[in-house]
Amino acid sequence: MAVMGREWFADAVLYEIYPQSFADSDGDGVGDLQGVIARLDHIASLGVNVIWFNPCFASPFVDAGYDVADYLTIAPRYGTNEDMAELVAKAGERGIRVLLDLVAGHTSIEHEWFRRELAADGPDPAGDRYIWCEQLPEQVWQRETPGTPAWVPSPGPRPGFYLKNFYDQQPALNFGWVRRPGDPAWRQPADAPGPLRNRQALKDIIAFWLDRGVAGFRVDMAFSLVKDERVSEGLAATVALWREIREWLDDAYPDAVLIPEGSEPRTGGPAAFDADFFLVIHDEHGSLFDNHFPGVLPFHEAREPFFDAAGKGSTRVFLDGWDAARATDPARLIVMSTADHDYDRLCCGPRTAEQLGAALTFLFTWGNVPCLYYGDEIGMRFLPGLPNVEGSVCDPSYNRAGCRTPMQWDAGPNAGFSTADAARLYLPVDPSPDRPTVAAQEADPSSTLHFVRELIALRRATPALGTRTSTRVINEDYPFAYVRGESHLVVVNPRSEPADLAVAGVVGAPLLSSGVTAHAGGLSVAGFGHGIFNFEP
Contact by Cβ (8 Å): 117, 186 = no
CB of 17 to Mg ion, least distance (A): 14
> How many of the chain's residues bind Mg ion (CB under 5 A)?
5
Q: By C-beta, is 32 or 63 nearer to Mg ion?
A: 32
290 binds Mg ion (CB under 5 A): no
C-alpha triplet 260, 176, 109: angle, nearest 5°: 75
CB of 170 to Mg ion, least distance (A): 25
Which residue from 24, 117, 220, 376 is in contact with ligand BGC, where contact means CB under 6 A? 220
Q: Which helix (H) or strand (E) holds 506?
A: strand 506-519
b/e burial code for range 81-110 (CB count within 10 A of at least 16 → b) = eebbeebbeebeeeebbbbbbbbbbbbbbb
Q: How far is the CB of 7 from ligand BGC (least distance, A)?
A: 27
**Minimum distance from residue 354 beta carbon to ligand BGC (Å):** 30
Give whichever of 26 and 304 is closer to Mg ion, judged by the CB atom. Answer: 26
**Identity of the amino acid at 70:** D
In the window 4-33, what residues touch Mg ion (CB under 5 A)?
A: 24, 26, 28, 30, 32
Q: What is the spatial distance between Cα 224 and Cα 269, in angstroms, rounded to a whole number? A: 16
> CB under 5 to 8 A by kind: which of Mg ion, ligand BGC, none does 166 bind?
ligand BGC
From the CB of 92, what's the least distance to ligand BGC, in Å? Answer: 26
Q: Three-state DSSP class for 210?
A: helix
Q: Which residue is nearest to ligand BGC (CB)?
A: 66
Coil, strand, or helix at residue 523?
strand
Query: Is the Cβ of residue 63 or residue 229 nearer to ligand BGC in the bound state?
Result: 63
What residues numbered 98-157 form the site for ligand BGC, per CB under 6 A? 103
CA neighbor of 102 nearest in space, from 176, 49, 173: 173
CA 352, chain centre distance (Å): 23
Angle at 253 (CA atoms; ends 249, 254), nearest 5 degrees:
85
With residue 534 as reference, give the H or E element that holds it: strand 522-535
What is the spatial distance between Cα 475 and Cα 471, in angstroms, rounded to a whole number?
A: 12
Binding-site member from 24, 274, 284, 342 for ligand BGC (CB under 6 A): 342
Q: Closest distance between ligand BGC and the C-beta of residue 165, in Å?
A: 7
Residue 502's DSSP bridge partners are 522
- Interacting residues with Mg ion between 410 and 469 (CB under 5 A): none
Chosen from ligand BGC, Mg ion, none, partner binding at 66 (C-beta under 5 to 8 Å by type): ligand BGC
Q: Which of ligand BGC, Mg ion, none does residue 376 bind (CB under 5 to 8 Å by kind)?
A: none
Rank residues 150 and 518 by Cβ distance to ligand BGC and give the closer one.
150
Residue 265 φ then ψ, to 5°: -50, -35
Q: Is 390 in the site for ligand BGC (CB under 6 A)?
A: no
Q: Are 374 and 15 in contact (CB under 8 A)?
A: yes
Which is closer to Mg ion, CB of 84 or CB of 104? Answer: 84
Contacts of the segment 420-425: beta carbons below 8 A, 24+ positions apart = 420/24, 420/27, 420/28, 420/29, 421/29, 424/28, 424/29, 425/29
276 binds ligand BGC (CB under 6 A): no
Q: Which does 326 bind (CB under 5 to 8 A by kind): Mg ion, ligand BGC, none?
A: none
Task: Give yes or no for residue 16 binding ligand BGC (CB under 6 A).
Answer: no
Kindly state whether residue 223 participates in binding ligand BGC, applying the rule CB under 6 A: no
Quick check: 471 and 488 in contact, CB under 8 A?
A: no
Q: Determine, following the binding rule CB under 5 A, whether residue 83 of this chain makes contact with Mg ion.
A: no
Q: Mapped to the 3 state alphabet, what secondary structure does 21-39 carry?
A: HCCCCCCCCCCCHHHHHHC
Q: What are phi and psi of 461, to 5 degrees?
A: -90, -5
Output 356 or 403, the one with its CB closest to ligand BGC: 403
Which listed residue (221, 371, 427, 458) binds ligand BGC by CB under 6 A?
Answer: 221
Q: Which of 16, 24, 32, 63 binds ligand BGC (CB under 6 A)?
A: 63
- Contact residues for Mg ion (CB under 5 A)? 24, 26, 28, 30, 32
- Contact residues for ligand BGC (CB under 6 A)? 63, 66, 103, 166, 220-221, 261, 341-342
